[in-house]
Amino acid sequence: MTEPASAGDAADVLLPPRTGLHRRNAWGFGLGTLGRDMAATLVTMFLIVYLTEVVQVSNATLAAVTVVLVVMRLFDAVNDPVMGLIVDNTRTRWGKFKPWIAGGALAWAAATIVMFSDWGVEGPWFVVVFIVVYLLWEIAYTVNDISYYGMLPSLSRNQIERERIGVVARVCANIGIFGVVMAIVPVTSALEEVLGSAQSAWFALAVAVAAMMLIFQTITLVTAKEQVSSERMHTSLRELFSVIGRNDQLLWVTLAMVLFMTGYTITTSLGLYYFTYIYGDVGMYPVFAAILGVSQIGGLLLFPLASAKLGRRRVHLLATASCAVGYVVFLFAGTSMLFIGVAGVLLFAGQAFIQLLMMMFIADSVEYGQWKLGRRNESVTFSLQPFIYKAASALASGAVGVTLIVSGINDAGSAADITDVGASAFKVAMMVVPLILVVVSWLVLARRYRLDETRYAEIIADLRLRESTVEARDGES
């Protein structure tokens, strides 16, 4: 392994990007996330709500479903790198990403609609059908997700350009996420009055979300254009483990972000339950969601300025501190909506920074792996991003299921049915456990992640030197 070239030779990776094609890729790629995250949010955040509040499954069925979610999400997360390998080895006239993006989106939309259909079964048969439907949903999601985010590093390897593409993508994604979060209560209530049942209302919402996802994915397929070519190198299954296992920076990012996202997902998954059974006014949930949505989008828009002024390491420390203080304020907010709102702003503005940093850290790990291992594997490397989300979702699902049973919420009819002990257990799960995970996540990255701006620029300079050497050698032969 050679030492990288000097940072001065790679200053262009930190210069402002070109405008025309950059804007096309930023908006083309970014808008696709809006529909994707609407569909993902409907299931990852509200599937349990649908099962407990609409289908009204028993504690036994909820326990079984919780086990299924944990096992299947972990199993699917482990399979993500294999899908990344398949994408990286794909060669078509449309490139290696877009065929999988299109096919995955179609299957994902269909599975989402089936997920919220009336299956007409109960007990053990409900669990069996749930396993089949959820497995189809996860496979389709994986196909689309791996190929979609695998395309990001190929759109540019200029760090500023990547950050701007990432900002647009995360802003659009958060519009999709919080559009669903804010709409879930008023829209399903309105649809229930029109359609006559809560199940029909949720089904109609699922159809609408699936259609939106396909529309925005089509925008990406038509407009996004790759700029960084990949080597025509086939990666075998045996080499897959080397691509991931020897990329130490990617592994540290993965560990840290699984910890952070597990805490974050626990908090967001319990949000609707908090306002229904702890705060005692579900009508405040859309208001809280609006505050969070504005906070996250504001954080994302401020990220490029903060990154330019402070650097990524200081931004990461600032964001972690914001999240930690937010959890403390939330824990002691009581029934004060003012303090709950302040906590939400601190939590979700900080989370927005960390969410974008995660994407950038993984994207930069593509070039680090190329420099260290001599091969460029965008999809295999970026398969660790959905792995992070799915592993975190699996662990959070287990925590949420246990919390709902232990706190007594799954059997409760209203906030009056929750004991003080149950409320305390709920708050520990929603606020204290995530706080600990956020701090540990920061410690891992602060001590182990080394791809700062200077180091990345050096690596890019060395890669370009290698490429020019190969081109010169090929020209002489």
Question: Mean pLDDT of residues grouped by 10 in the chain (477 residues)?
Answer: 43 48 80 91 88 87 87 78 80 83 94 92 90 92 87 76 81 87 89 93 96 94 76 62 83 94 92 89 85 83 84 92 96 90 92 86 86 77 78 88 90 87 94 96 93 86 81 66
Report pLDDT for 12. 45
Q: What is the pLDDT of residues 432-473, one digit of tens each?
A: 999 999 999 999 999 999 888 888 888 888 888 887 877 677
Q: What is the pLDDT of residues 104-115, one digit of tens each?
A: 999 999 999 999
Q: What are phi and psi of 452, to 5 degrees?
A: -80, -175
Using alpha carbons only, give the angle 399, 403, 408 rounded to the nearest 5 degrees.
Answer: 160
Q: How far is CA 148 from CA 20, 36, 302, in A?
A: 22, 10, 25
Report pLDDT for 230. 56
Is the Cβ–Cβ distance between 148 and 221 less than 8 Å? no
Whole-number Å distance between alpha carbons of 344 and 444: 25
Choose among 199, 204, 217, 177: nearest CA to 300: 177
**Within 13 A of 406's CA, how many CA atoms are on the CB side?**
14
Whole-number Å distance between alpha carbons of 144 and 76: 13
User: 138 is written with which tokens?
Assistant: 């996860």
Report pLDDT for 6. 42
- What pTM did the predictor assign? 0.71
Whole-number Å distance between alpha carbons of 427 and 407: 10
Report pLDDT for 7. 39
Report pLDDT for 121. 84
CATH topology of domain 8-220+238-472: Growth Hormone; Chain: A; (1.20.1250)
Report pLDDT for 240. 67
